[in-house]
Amino acid sequence: MKKPLMHKAAITISSHPMYLSIVRVFLEKLLKLMDLPTYMVEDLKSAVDEACSNVIKYAYKNDYERTIKVSFECTSDKVEVVIEDRGEKPADTEFQGRDLRDLKPGGLGMHFIRKAFDEIRFRRIRGINKLTLMRRL
Amino acid sequence: MDINIEDVGKGKKVSLSGEIDMHTSPELRKALLKLTKEKISPIIIDLKNVSYMDSSAIATFVEALKSMMSYKGSMRLCNLSPRVQEIFAFAKLDRVFTICKDIEDALSR
């Protein structure tokens, strides 16, 4: 049986990196409503931040005049965040992240996302990239 | 994010405060690469007042560290919050960077 919805909210931001802090505040406030432990709030917040940064870098190629929609839903047993953009379809390699044994800048964002979320699903529907991140509670 | 750079012996102390993310890390990159171009060593990074750090911040530190390797310079990070320490450990960078408890510890290395 589907669990009752506890919280649901969405925010649409401009794809300029200055708005990433607004997404972090938005998520932090919502996650705190759920009384989750601090480490989990920090992990989820970092992961969504990294996912939005990836949209700016890879889907929008640093075009700061586009939009990113972040939707949040939670029930008693999971948190789900959906990140939507209308940029280019990211290459498969952009979902991999670098080998952590290599000392080189970049490639860490996907590791933060995988650390925080149990399921990561990507779909492209009619020109919209839709990344669904789910964390079981 | 604010960056404050002071002389400490032959090196520099870089005190950072606020949030380091994709928006603010280019400014940090510019400041650190200016120091590495001048072959400054040691560079002591004080993270005491950093409230948030993303992967672009880590990438910036890695880039500066690699730049310092060309002249055998020393970068020391100090006053890491438990969260920032955890990020470095997760990225397996806690053994790559010299991580110090505080400024005194960083200066004594």
Alpha carbon distances (Å) from B1 to A57, A84, B15, B24, B26? 21, 28, 10, 6, 11
Work out the angle between the directed axes of helices A109-116 and A38-54 (0-180°, nearest 10). Answer: 140
Is B59 in contact with A100 (Cβ distance < 8 A)?
no
Alpha carbon distances (Å) from B49 to A99, B69, B71? 30, 27, 29
Number of domains observed in the structure of chain A: 1
Does residue A97 have a pLDDT over 80? no
Tell me which residue in B23, B83, B87 faces A17 most closely, judged by beta carbons. Answer: B23
Residues of A in contact with B55 (CB under 8 A): 50, 53, 106, 108-109, 112
Q: Residue A21: its pLDDT value, please?
A: 97
**Confidence bin at A3 (pLDDT 50/70/90):** low
Long-range contacts of A84-87 (CB under 8 A, 24+ apart): A84/A128, A84/A129, A84/A130, A84/A131, A85/A15, A85/A55, A85/A59, A85/A60, A85/A128, A85/A129, A86/A127, A86/A128, A86/A129, A87/A55, A87/A58, A87/A59, A87/A60, A87/A61, A87/A63, A87/A129
pLDDT per position as a tens digit, A18-35:
999 999 999 999 998 888
Is B54 in contact with A56 (Cβ distance < 8 A)?
no
Tell me which residue in B62, B83, B91 faces A42 most closely, judged by beta carbons. Answer: B83
Whether the CB of A78 is below 8 Å from some CB of chain B: the reply is no
**Confidence bin at A133 (pLDDT 50/70/90):** very high
- Tell me the residue range of the domain where A53 lies: 5-136
- Which residue of B1, B19, B22, B24 to mutate against A (max A Cβ within 10 Å)? B22
Q: Residue A105: its pLDDT value, please?
A: 63
Distance from CA of B91 to the nearest CA of A (A): 6
Domain B2-108, second-level architecture: 2-Layer Sandwich (3.30)
Q: Residue A101: its pLDDT value, please?
A: 67
For residue A23, the domain's CATH number is: 3.30.565.10
pLDDT per position as a tens digit, A50-61:
999 999 999 999
Residues of B in contact with A46 (CB under 8 A): 54, 87
pTM to 2 decimal places: 0.92
Cα-Cα-Cα-Cα dihedral of A117, A122, A128, A133, to 10°? -10
